[in-house]
Amino acid sequence: MLVATVLVGTVAFAQNSGETRKREGEDWRERIRAAQVAFLTSELDLTEAEAQSFWPVYNDVQKQRREAFGAMQKAYMELTKGIDSDNIAKLLANYLDARKANDTIETGAVERYKKVLPVQKVAKLLLAEEKFRHQQIGRLGQGGGPFGGQNGRQGTPPPMGRGGNRGGHNAPTQPEA
């Protein structure tokens, strides 16, 4: 009976711990998104009319990016696991297709943005996204997480087992405001 009680308690703790980590991860992602929106709003200096037409397009592109990245990560993991399998050619093709789909989204995003913003602001958007990304990488590299704070887990990403830097490890970061 004692073993059953300990087992049930352990399972309940593990589930609660997993749910807590998932919630922390969602909170972390939401804070990053909010910081990104504030940063882009400041960098782009959108008029009210531009903002009304831009943000729905941007949010849709972000959703497509997340889905494409997820598909690319899945294809990558399958390729990793199947490296010595007879199915390697198909796994490689799937991974390359997922990468190509990701690139297509990026190219299509620029065209969509140009329909709602002047081309100069589209260019500013691309530069601002990279600037924001570099700032976040720099903050993570300093051990403070995306929002500073070096105590405990404050501001650090949840353990998710996901990589995926798009390059630029050594790019300079902008000074914090």
The mean pLDDT of 79-91, rounded to a whole number, is 95
pLDDT > 70 fraction of the chain, expressed in percent and rounded: 69
- What's the pLDDT at 7? 45
**Do 164 and 171 touch, CB atoms closer than 8 A?**
no
**Do 126 and 165 touch, CB atoms closer than 8 A?**
no
- What's the pLDDT at 134? 94
**Do 157 and 29 touch, CB atoms closer than 8 A?**
no
Nearest to 92 by CA among 80, 105, 106, 104: 80
- What's the pLDDT at 132? 95
C-alpha pair distances (Å), 68 with each of 36, 132, 167: 20, 20, 17
Q: Of the ranges 1-5, 166-170, 172-176, which is most confident? A: 1-5
Q: Is the pLDDT of residue 154 over 80?
A: no
- Its pTM stands at 0.65
